[in-house]
Amino acid sequence: MDSLLFHAFIYLVAAVITVPLAKRLGLGSVLGYLLAGVIIGPHALNLVGDRTGDVMHFAEFGVVMMLFLVGLELQPALLWKLRVQLLGLGGLQVFGTALVIALIGAALGLGWRLPFAAGLILAMSSTAIVLQSLQERGQLKTPAGESAFAVLLFQDIAVIPILALLPLLALEPATPAVAASTVDALPDAAAAHGASGIASLAGWQQTLVVIAVVAGIIAAGRYLVNPVFRIIARTEIRELFTAAALLLVISVSLTMQLVGLSAALGTFVAGVVLANSEYRHELEADIGPFKGLLLGLFFITVGAQIDFALLRTSPGLIAGLVFALLTVKFLILFVLARIFRLATPEGLLFSFALAQGGEFAFVLLSFVVDHHVFTAAQAAPLTATVALSMAITPLLFVFNEKFVQPHFARPTPPARAADQIDPASQENPVIIAGFGRFGHIVGRLLRANGVGTTVLDLDPEQVEVVRRIGLKVFYGDATRVDLLHAAGAAHAKLIVIAIDDEAKSVALVETVQKHFPHLKIFARAAGRVHAFEFQKRGVETFYRETLGSSLELGVDVLRAVGFRGHQALRAARTFKQHDEASVRELAEFWEDDDKYFSEARKRIEAFDQMFASDAVTGRQAKGDRGWDPMPPGDASRD
Amino acid sequence: MPARVLVLFAHPALQKSRVNRHLATAARQVPGVTFHDLYEVYPDFQIDVPREQEQLLAHDVIVFQHPFYWYSAPALLKEWLDLVLEYGFAYGPTGTRLQGKSLLSAITTGGSAHAYTREGHNHFTMRELLAPFEQTARLCGMTWLDPFVIHHASRLGEATSLSPHIARYTQVLANLRDGQPAPASVTPPSIAKP
């Protein structure tokens, strides 16, 4: 009964039973997987034998995939925006934590070397648990989520120099020969996070190789991936595309390992490069399930590896260590959140999220034992501490959500499954995505005129409010293809995209164009930049959300200062025509800042000129000369 | 009891007007006359029909004051006619609500009086060209009054040559209010040529 299938059976049964239970209890899927691991692990039912370590190394590939997917969602511009957090927040977190732990250790009379090494190791947080938990709660795009992500990314990069630094902290310095050879002795897991195959090269050569490889990944992502995927997509064999997507991720990982960089970092870069690719959604859809399964497996193995024997023999020590670790990291994180001006509730989420130890710690701890920095007996309680702190993290999220956040702003709404859309609604000719301030006006206008609409909205509160005033709205994310199908997109004539999240509305345009090309799109645009995004995708029927009401206000102000109502209204209409035309003309320039502004200025000046000459001569450049008195001396008067 | 007079004024570009602007200012100041500036109240052409009908019922004499665009009224007044003079209200077997009221067209033209003769540029007389309005009044059972016309509006401009016309218009409105007949002539007094 030691077969692969049997193991798979055990893992899957455990997951399928515990994860829904954990979700049901509002604890999140991560805790469910961890519990599953504890149950099937050696200290409970002992169903999976002693191979969990191997499985874990394999499952860690889920983290790599996760970073690839995160990269796909991240436009390069956003990454650039995060640079301050990445270097500042991330750097201060890692070295601040290491320093504080070293000081505490020194104060306890442990010297500074060991505590500092331990500090570097314990500064790491769990990318897998944190990102999964944030994503599950829809908090990845919040300020706290973005900051946490930046810190995790920095940690991922920092592992590489830390691996180089740790052997130097040994009480009896390792000989250079040992330092070099240990690189090969690293477990596979370490390789996944950055062991080196080019260690024999000189430092500057290594640097060159690394730069070349990263540049190669970027270039390949830019110029190679799209054509290749186009060829594969043309075969119309669905699983081939999945295979190609997996191949992409795995080959990037292998390349990175070869040059001693973190595979997760490499796939993240690849993801960012492909964020603008037309195959982005396909890649997401194909890699997503693998990522989910592998991460789940990874969490199970973490649960299975919690050393309950150690916990039984010295519960006080472990509990104390876990508490101390979480407290120290939490305090440092919270101070940093303050320095980087996160609002208090955001800062709390950020600090609770990153307070645990991470999976890197397992790698680094076995690495330091191999290098005689730590003895195995010293490392064991730390390993247990990290594992326990990871297991506690989902509870910290729940604690933060249930007991801490309510004291601040309104609590985040609980995760909720999409509504079932009744069959009658699937025949409606119009789908409205987003039923907030904008969409509900469109929806009511259509409904009042007898046009059948199917409405989707992602804000549970809004759905409730609208339902209470007697309108039917389905809760659900309109960017999901299956939900669009359920909403009757195959039969509908058009879709009104009225969601206020700009990135989401653009994503929805792409999804609709890809899967329901017959649907005519009417899109709400936040402003010019958003409008340009639509035009880039061929959508000309976009409506800037504030244009109408600001012109209405302008008309009333013109009237208040003495203009005739009809004249004011016509002026506003002329303005609107001109502005709509200029938004369409400027679309081709907007990626070039200088050109864009000079062109925009030209148009504004021309427009002002037109009105100014009208005010002087009483004539409009075009449009209403028919109302002018006849010119004097015209024979037709006589 | 004085008659209640309602002036329905229609001019889409008053800022360009030379004569109507002054006529409108004068009409506003005639006591007992309701002045209703259509383009100002309905710049978007969204006419409040019930309100307009009520206002008609509350008056005895209706005046259409407007420039003569293409032998007719500016678009909003046409829209007003189309929407407000409903079947069952203004005409039809039960549409008797306007019966007994009077209708006066008060018009400015760009052309001279001579232009509105068989020999003139416009070939037809004012009376002929206003036939649609006259028949509208007939169908509604209203009395069609001789139109008040100011020709050569584009020539007038200086206050001196304009003032007799303004005085005459004010007098016409006052007479209508006081139940006296409107002046029969459509020919203005001769205008000094520059």
Q: Which residues pair with A41 in a beta bridge?
A: none
From A523, A542, A561, the end of a domain falls on: A542
Please report, in angstroms and rounded to a whole number, the separation of the first and last CA atoms in chain A: 112
A560: distance to nearest CA of chain B, Å? 12
B113: distance to nearest CA of chain A, Å? 8
Q: Please tell me the predicted confidence (pLDDT) of residue A411.
A: 46
Q: Are A151 and A89 in contact (CB under 8 A)?
A: yes
Across the interface, of A565, A635, A637, the residue whose CB is closest to B154 is A637
* Residue A104 in domain: yes
> Alpha-carbon distance A293 to A286, whole Å?
12
Residues A57 and A148 in one domain: yes
* Residue A633 in domain: no
Residue of B nearest to A563 (CA): B15
Q: Please tell me the predicted confidence (pLDDT) of residue A201.
A: 67
User: What radius of gyration, in Å, describes the C-alpha atoms of chain B?
Assistant: 16
B13 with A638: Cβ contact below 8 A? no
Residues A150 and A199 in one domain: yes
Strands A430-433 and A453-457, sheet pairing: parallel
Residues A462 and A550 in one domain: no
Q: Which domain holds residue A450?
A: 421-542
Residues A494 and A562 in one domain: no
Residue A6's contacts (CB-CB under 8 Å, 6 or more residues apart) are none
* Residue A638 in domain: no
B123 is catalytic: yes
* Residue A450 in domain: yes
Query: What's the CATH code of the domain at A435?
Result: 3.40.50.720
Q: Where are the alpha helices (DSSP H) in A124-262?
A: 127-136, 143-165, 176-185, 188-192, 203-223, 225-235, 238-258
Q: Which residues pair with B87 in a beta bridge?
A: B91
Measured over the CA atoms of residue B144, residue B148, residue B152 and residue B155, the dihedral's sign is negative
At B97-149, the pLDDT tens digits run: 999 999 999 999 988 899 999 999 999 999 999 999 999 999 999 999 999 99
Residue from A358, A489, A477, A451 nearest A94 by CA: A358
A635 with B12: Cβ contact below 8 A? no
Residue from B187, B165, B20 nearest B114 by CA: B187
Q: Are A152 and A125 in contact (CB under 8 A)?
A: yes
Catalytic residue among B91, B116, B165, B169: B116
Taking one residue from A and the other from B, the number of pairs with CB-CB distance under 8 angstroms is 61
Please report, in angstroms and rounded to a whole number, the separation of the first and last CA atoms in chain B: 45
Q: Are A119 and A102 in contact (CB under 8 A)?
A: yes
At A483-495, the pLDDT tens digits run: 888 888 888 999 9
* Residue A344 in domain: yes
Residues A531 and A564 in one domain: no
At A579-588, the pLDDT tens digits run: 999 888 888 8
Residues A554 and A533 in one domain: no
At A317-370, the pLDDT tens digits run: 889 999 999 999 999 999 999 888 888 888 999 999 999 998 778 778 877 887
Determine if the pTM surpasses 0.80.
Answer: no
Across the interface, of B12, B44, B114, the residue whose CB is closest to A627 is B12
Catalytic residue among B32, B123, B157, B179: B123
Q: Which residues pair with A432 in a beta bridge?
A: A455, A496
B11 is catalytic: no
> Alpha-carbon distance B172 to B176, whole Å?
6
Given a cut of 70, whether residue A621 has pLDDT beyond it is: no
A559: distance to nearest CA of chain B, Å? 9
Instruction: Judge residue A253's burial from the number of C-beta atoms within 10 Å of its C-beta, 0-12 exposed, 13-18 middle, 19 or more buried.
Output: buried
Residue A609 in 3-state DSSP? helix
Residue from A272, A260, A163 nearest A207 by CA: A260
At A479-536, the pLDDT tens digits run: 888 888 888 888 899 999 999 888 889 999 999 999 999 999 999 999 888 999 999 9
* Residue A637 in domain: no
A618: distance to nearest CA of chain B, Å? 6
Residues A503 and A462 in one domain: yes
Q: Please tell me the predicted confidence (pLDDT) of residue A270.
A: 85
Q: Which residues in B lie closer than 8 A to residue A636 (C-beta atoms)?
A: 111, 115, 121
> Alpha-carbon distance A256 to A329, whole Å?
30
At A254-288, the pLDDT tens digits run: 888 887 777 877 888 888 888 877 777 778 888 88
Across the interface, of A567, A636, A637, the residue whose CB is closest to B15 is A567
The secondary element (H helix, E strand) that includes residue A543 is: strand A542-544
Residue from A483, A504, A502 nearest A417 by CA: A483
Given a cut of 50, whether residue B190 has pLDDT beyond it is: no
Q: Is A632 on the interface with B (CB under 8 A)?
A: yes
Q: How many independent structural domains does chain A possess?
A: 3
Given a cut of 90, whether residue A188 has pLDDT beyond it is: no
Q: Please tell me the predicted confidence (pLDDT) of residue B98.
A: 96
> Alpha-carbon distance B59 to A439, whole Å?
45
Given a cut of 50, whether residue A376 has pLDDT beyond it is: yes
Q: DSSP assignment, residue A342?
A: -
Distance from chain centroid for Cα A300: 23
Strands A520-525 and A542-544, sheet pairing: parallel
Q: Which amino acid is at B126?
A: M
Q: Is B47 on the interface with A (CB under 8 A)?
A: no
Instruction: Give me A154's structure tokens.
Output: 């920095």
> Alpha-carbon distance A546 to A558, whole Å?
18
For Cα atoms A5, A7, A10, give the angle at the middle one, nearest 5 degrees: 110
Q: Where are the alpha helices (DSSP H) in A236-342?
A: 238-258, 263-273, 280-304, 308-313, 315-339
Instruction: Judge residue A322's burial from the number of C-beta atoms within 10 Å of its C-beta, 0-12 exposed, 13-18 middle, 19 or more buried.
Output: buried
Residue B112 in 3-state DSSP? coil
Q: Which residues in A lie closer than 8 A to residue B154 (C-beta atoms)?
A: 629-632, 637
Instruction: Give me B165's structure tokens.
Output: 């016309």
Measured over the CA atoms of residue A485, residue A488, residue A490 and residue A494, the dihedral's sign is negative
Residues A454 and A397 in one domain: no
* Residue A413 in domain: no
Buried b (16+ CB within 10 A) or exposed e, B3-30: bbbbbbbbbbbbebbbbbebbbebbeeb
B111 with A637: Cβ contact below 8 A? yes
* Residue A636 in domain: no
Distances (CA, A) of A513 to A281, A534, B90: 12, 12, 54
> Alpha-carbon distance A61 to A59, whole Å?
5
* Chain A residues 397-426 within an 8 A CB cutoff of chain B: none
Residues A481 and A587 in one domain: no
Q: Are A412 and A401 in contact (CB under 8 A)?
A: yes
A80 pLDDT tier (thresholds 50, 70, 90): confident
Q: Please tell me the predicted confidence (pLDDT) of residue B91.
A: 95
Q: Please tell me the predicted confidence (pLDDT) of residue A183.
A: 37
Given a cut of 90, whether residue A15 has pLDDT beyond it is: no
Residues A524 and A555 in one domain: no
Neighbours of A63 (CB within 10 A): 29
Distance from chain centroid for Cα A521: 26
Distance from chain centroid for Cα A136: 11
A554 pLDDT tier (thresholds 50, 70, 90): very high
Percentage of the residues of chain B whose pLDDT score is greater than 70: 91
Q: Is A627 on the interface with B (CB under 8 A)?
A: yes
A627 with B43: Cβ contact below 8 A? no
Residue A172's contacts (CB-CB under 8 Å, 6 or more residues apart) are A372
Q: Which residues pair with A522 in a beta bridge?
A: A496
Residue A278 in 3-state DSSP? coil
At the fourth CATH level, the homologous superfamily of domain B5-177 is Flavodoxin domain (3.40.50.360)
Distances (CA, A) of A580 to A162, A264, A530, A538, A572: 55, 45, 14, 15, 12
> Alpha-carbon distance A512 to A517, whole Å?
6
Between A544 and A306, name the one with better pLDDT.
A544
Distance from chain centroid for Cα A218: 20
> Alpha-carbon distance B36 to B28, whole Å?
9
The secondary element (H helix, E strand) that includes residue B9 is: strand B5-9
Residues A116 and A245 in one domain: yes
Q: Which residues in B lie closer than 8 A to residue A632 (C-beta atoms)?
A: 154-155
> Alpha-carbon distance A247 to A234, whole Å?
18
Q: Please tell me the predicted confidence (pLDDT) of residue A328.
A: 92
Query: What's the CATH code of the domain at A253?
Result: 1.20.1530.20
> Alpha-carbon distance A534 to A217, whole Å?
29
